[in-house]
Each structure stands twice: as structure tokens, then as C-alpha cells.
Structure 1
Amino acid sequence: MKDYAGADPGFDPDVYRTLLESTLAIPWRIDWATMTFAYIGPQIEPLLGWPRGSWKTIDDWASRIHEEDRQRVVDFCVSQSMAGVDHEADYRALTRDNGYVWIRDVVHVVRDETGKVESLVGFMFDITERKKTEQDLLDMQKRLETLSFEDGLTGASNRRMFDNRLETEWKSACRKGTPLSAILIDLDHFKQFNDRYGHIAGDECLIRVAGALKQAGRRPRDVVARFGGEEFVILLPETDAASALHLAECCRDAIDDLQIPHEGSQCSTLVTASIGVGTTQPAVRTGARDFLAAVDRLLYAAKQQGRNRIVAATV
């Protein structure tokens, strides 16, 4: 291959070749009329494993792009090249041993004196480490976002997450005309539990209860959150009164099944819960906060009636 990526004819080709082949970037040139490689740097073989001589046509390049990236990258590069626009593309290039390397292809379109596309010249850069760093940062950001909406003790959603979802689901229910339910759960005589068994045991109790509640409310859109202290709340989008009451009963049974001793309780020898269950048909003229306050009153009624029970109503 005597033509080195558009070298100046007055420049010593041996010197130019030495420069091209000493860089970590991989130079290449494609003849536009024949869609064949006029040149590709020897760096391609140690990077991807494909013999330098096997890069003959544009089809060889396309077939060695990861199938998830191939159509997007080929369509983009061809359209930009036809339009005579310089461009670059990131993609996963397949290696000969069935792995892949992240490549950034930087492309310059060479035109003849009439403006017609004559060739494409460019450089491939190995950006695998950069992509790994970007993914690590993205994963860290996602984790931080998760932590900002997660209760640090129990792993349930926190109050911030619940408040955000309550507003979102309220608006959604208003648009769709669907019911919205919520369950408020308060562990009975929990101060006495901490006084008798200590705060470490109290924390462990909350963790176990949160786990049981998350198992009970497992639909993708349900939100199980720690509401504060020993209170939990479950938000139930598109859930009618009968279904909400059934889930509340499952939650109560799940807490009973934990069999956590509570000798300081005035209503049982085990940890129990008082539960308020409310269902409403959201409307623009009313507010999500008013709905939550109504459910809280149902929880208060359960406590007033002796605790360790469920009070449910349409509000």
C-alpha cells in the first residue's frame, strides 16, 4: 500500500510511514469509489487480532463492529460521508478472540477539485479504558442516586422518595381516572421495645419488618417506604379498596410471622402493628397531602381501638 492516508507528495513517504506507525492511534484510508482500504496501520493487528491484510473492504470493517452497534454506526458514517461531512463515532470493535474493544473512529472526508468525495482518511483510537471509567462513574452516580432515595437503616425507600412518588402517582391517577391506595403501618408500643431490648435490637427489628413488608408489596410500582421512626407506608397505584385491604392483611401476617418477642407490649407478646388503609379516587381539586392525612386518621383509629388491628376506608 503506497498511499499513506493522504500524505503530501513532497513529503518523504518513509518518514511519513514511520510517524503513522509509531503512534498508538491506528491510521487508515478508504477509497470511496471502490469502498476498499488503501491503507490501515499495523497497530490494528495487536489491538484486535485481525491480520492487517484482512482489512480489504468496508464490509470487513462493518462485520467487525459489535452487532448492537453495527447498524447505528454504519448508517451514521455512510450518511455523513456521502454528505461530505467530517465525523466521529464510538463503537465496540470485535476482536478475533470474540471479545471487543471500544473504538473512537475520527473520519475526514477528502474531496477532489470538483467537490466529489474521493476518499476517507482517519484514525481509530482505543478508548476502552475511558469507556470503563465513564461506566464506573455512571454506576457510582446511579448508586448515589439510589442512596439518596433509600432509608439508610432498613433499605426501604425513604420519605423523600415516597413524597416524590406520591405526587407523581396522584397526577397519573387524576389523568387516568384510576384509584390510589396507601397503607400506613405503625409498630405497636415500640418505645417500650427499645426500652426493654435496647436500640440495637430495635434497629434489627425495623430491618426485619422492612424486609417483610417489601416481600408483601412486590409489584413494580408499589413503594414501600420508612415514613419515620417505627412507621412505614406503602403506596399502591391503581389499587382498589378490596385489594389494598388484602395487602394490608398480608403485611400484618408477615409481621406476625417474624415472631419477634415483645414482652413490653400491652397488646401481644410479639411485635405487632396498627394499620390504616385508605383508598381514594384522586381529583385535581383535591390534594395528595389531604389523602395522606386521611389515611393517618385511619391509623390513629386503629390505635384508639386497641392496636394490633387494621382500619380501612374509602376516603
Structure 2
Amino acid sequence: MGGVREKDLPWGERDASGRRAVLAEILAQVSSEAFEGENLQAVLQRIVDCVARRLPVAIASIILLDEDGGHFVQEVWAGRIGLDLPGDLPWPVTVGAAGRCVRSGRAQLIADVQHDPDYVPGNRDVRSEYLVPILHRGRLHGVLNLESTRADFFTPEVCATFDAVASQVAGTIHLTRVVLELEQANRRLQLLSMSDGLTGIANRRCFDQRFAETWRRQAEAGRLLALLLVDADCFKPLNDACGHLYGDECLRELARLCREVARGPDELVARYGGEELALLLPDHTAPQARRRAECLRRRVEAERLAHPASPVAPHVTVSIGVGVTRPDASIPDQALIAVADRALYAAKTRGRNRVAVRTMAHARGPRDADR
């Protein structure tokens, strides 16, 4: 059985019905490609690959605009000949036939590129070009650009197919951007749900989650973990004497100072509750944790935030309880919180404005590490 099958015939040897069949197949394939690929770049690349592979198009490219629509910022292309861009990206829409397509908002058919005033030569073998705006609900995303080495390729039927391809690409870009915007909004909401509205540091929900994760990680690695519980001394009298707005400002300042003390990539500062803040410090021995706590206590004193109702000092001070242990997966993480809380209680009962440290030895229980 000799001869070439119809589906294997070159474009120039097909009859009208054969060409229509190819165009319909391409449109169906582009529709399918629009929903495949791990990201927008991959999807657009598959689309231009499909067009360049199935049709006598020397170059197929999708040129995307920036948010303001004034510059081309990205190009995805495929083809059988090399392509020279009209300059480094980004380039303005005042340049080239693609720019004219954007400025007019209409498709541009260039039957003879040598006689078009805006055509920027990308390859000397190109004879004709068709450009279609990628438009979705009034928003122009870019241009679908097709270039051919034939002068007679862009018939009305072929152009209509590329118009449909451009519409499909526009829908794909729109959907991808909507999904991206939703993901970004969800990340912002997630961040907000994990932040304390007053101080901007992590909230209790974020602390509980990170603390559990850090406990497991340190237990698996057999490494130390320190927890500092920081309490503003005599905070209720401060609010009563100076008002809640001033009390809120003092809490924001305390949170700022805590952030400056705990800057490590795995360290966490959180509002634990009310006027109590927490610092999570992985890989800290008891002496190291004590030094960090003392540094914080001294910095709070140095701020000299007025506290006219404090029996401790005329300015805001803090009591800090430090708990240190080597986490054990068989022991609940709340055990370290209990140790740090007992240390905080000890700091308060010994006169406030001081640091108390307790270590947690699993066999013996909590041990006071104060000197």
C-alpha cells in the first residue's frame, strides 16, 4: 500500500478540507494544552510549540505586557528559524508591529513585511506576519505573533483560527493570574491569622504551631531548646494610671525590643497572652539563654518608658522566666512551658525586674538554675 496518508501531508499539499481539519485539530489541542503544565510559562510554551510544529509558521510567539500595558516584558516562542528581538526586554509598545497591535487593540495582518513601516526585522526569511491582541474582558495581556516564510499563508480561515487561539491564550492567562492572586490573598490571610494585630509579632496560634514543630525537630536532632516568657511588671496599674492606649504603646515597644534580641532564622517572638511575650530559642544552653534574657531586661530598662504606678521602678520593667531542656519526643512540649512559667513566677516573687532560669532534666524534673 503506497502513498502518503492525508494526515501526514505537508500544508501546501492539502486540499481545503484537509487544511480545515488541521486547523480544527490545532484549536482542540491548544484548548487541551491550556489546562496542562505546572505554570503559565510552561503552558504558553506548549501552545507555541504546538502551533509551530503543526503549521508552516516559521515563528510563533506570545509576547506579554507589564501590568501597565506600556512595555513588553516576556516572550515565549518556538520556530524553525532564529528570532532577533527589537531590543532587550522590556521594550516599549511604541516599537514595532507588535506595539502597533497593542496601541490599536486590533489584529494586524502584514502581507509583505518589507513594505510595513513598523515591522522590525527578526529574520530575513520572513515574508508575512499576523499579530493578534491577547484580550480578556477588556484587559490586554499581550500579543500572539505568527511569522511565516510564505506570503500566502495567512488566509482568512487561518487568521480566524489564530484569533481563536489568542482568545484561548487570553483565557488561560486570566485564569492563571486569578489563581495566583487568590494564592497571594490566601498567603496574606494566613499571615494575618498568625500575627498579633497590636504588636505585629506572631500570635498565640502561630507560637503553638511553631513550638510544636520546633520541639519535634530538636527532639529528633537531640539538640537543646530554650523558652523565655517575658512579663511586663505591674501592667494593670500602668493601664489604670496612664490609660490603655499608653499601655498598648508600651507593649509594641516591648515586642520591638524582643524582635531585636531574637533575630536568628529559627528564633521566634510571639505574644503569648495579655502583657506576656514569648521567645523561642533553639540550640541555647542555660547560660546562653540567661545572657539573652538579661540583655532584653537591660534594654527594656534603658528605654525608660514611664510607669508612675510601679513599685519596682519609675519606668517599665520586665520579669523573665527561662526554661531550657533537651526535648524528648516521649514528653509533651507543654512540659517546657510549665518550667518557664515556674521560672517566671520565681522572678516575680523575688522582686520582679529580674531573670530566673530553670532547666528540665527528664529523670529529676525541673531544676532551678539561678545562681
Q: 1:236 aligns with which of 272, 276, 281?
A: 281
1:150 aligns with 2:192: no
Structure 2 CA distance for aligned equivalents of residues 188 and 234 of structure 1: 17
- SS at 1:277 equivalent: strand
1:256 aligns with 2:279: no
| Bigger Cα displacement from structure 2, 122-131 vs 37-46 | 37-46
Q: 2:337 aligns with which of 268, 292, 309?
A: 292
1:303 aligns with 2:348: yes
TM-score, normalization by structure 1: 0.67
- SS at 1:267 equivalent: coil
Structure 1 CA distance for aligned equivalents of residues 15 and 309 of structure 2: 91
Q: Which runs of 5+ in 1 are unaligned?
A: 67-95, 105-120
Shift of 1:58: 6.9
Structure 2 CA distance for aligned equivalents of residues 56 and 42 of structure 1: 6
Alpha-carbon distance change, 158 to 31 in structure 1, aligned in 2, over 3 angstroms? closer
Residue aligning to 1:130 = 175
- SS at 2:205 equivalent: helix
Contact 2:52 2:78 in 1 (8 A): no
Residue aligning to 1:78 = none
Shift of 1:11: 6.9
Shift of 1:42: 9.1
Structure 2 CA distance for aligned equivalents of residues 142 and 45 of structure 1: 29
Residue aligning to 2:80 = 57
Q: 1:277 aligns with which of 315, 319, 322?
A: 322
Mapping of residues 39-78 of structure 1, within 5 Å: 39=57, 56-57=79-80
Which AA in structure 2 matches 1:149? M
- SS at 1:38 equivalent: coil
Q: Deviations over 1:120-148 (max 9, x none)?
A: x9946144443333322221111100111
1:9 aligns with 2:27: no
Q: Deviations over 1:36-70 (max 9, x none)?
A: x6137999689898xxxx97517659xxxx9xxxx
Shift of 1:30: 3.6
| Bigger Cα displacement from structure 2, 220-229 vs 237-246 | 237-246
Residue aligning to 1:219 = 264
Residue aligning to 1:194 = 239
Q: Deviations over 1:166-212 (max 9, x none)?
A: 11111111111100100001000000000000011111111111111
Alpha-carbon distance change, 291 to 55 in structure 1, aligned in 2, over 3 angstroms? closer
Q: 2:253 aligns with which of 208, 217, 229?
A: 208
Contact 2:319 2:344 in 1 (8 A): yes
Mapping of residues 79-98 of structure 1, within 5 Å: none
Contact 2:204 2:273 in 1 (8 A): yes
Contact 1:166 1:235 in 2 (8 A): yes
Alpha-carbon distance change, 282 to 56 in structure 1, aligned in 2, over 3 angstroms? closer
Structure 2 CA distance for aligned equivalents of residues 59 and 178 of structure 1: 57
Which AA in structure 2 matches 1:278? G
Residue aligning to 2:56 = 38
Alpha-carbon distance change, 102 to 149 in structure 1, aligned in 2, over 3 angstroms? farther
Residue aligning to 1:171 = 216
| Bigger Cα displacement from structure 2, 270-279 vs 242-251 | 242-251
Structure 2 CA distance for aligned equivalents of residues 31 and 43 of structure 1: 13
Structure 1 CA distance for aligned equivalents of residues 12 and 234 of structure 2: 80
1:268 aligns with 2:302: no
Which AA in structure 2 matches 1:308? N
Residue aligning to 2:130 = none
Contact 1:102 1:128 in 2 (8 A): no
- SS at 1:183 equivalent: strand
- SS at 1:39 equivalent: coil
Structure 1 CA distance for aligned equivalents of residues 143 and 214 of structure 2: 42
Of all paired residues, the percent bearing the same amino acid is 34
Contact 2:59 2:80 in 1 (8 A): no
Q: Deviations over 1:107-129 (max 9, x none)?
A: xxxxxxxxxxxxxx994614444
Shift of 1:255: 1.4
Alpha-carbon distance change, 44 to 283 in structure 1, aligned in 2, over 3 angstroms? closer
Contact 2:51 2:60 in 1 (8 A): no
Aligned pairs, number: 245
Q: Which runs of 5+ in 2 are unaligned?
A: 1-9, 28-43, 66-70, 90-119, 121-140, 145-160, 361-371
Which AA in structure 2 matches 1:312? V
Alpha-carbon distance change, 42 to 187 in structure 1, aligned in 2, over 3 angstroms? closer
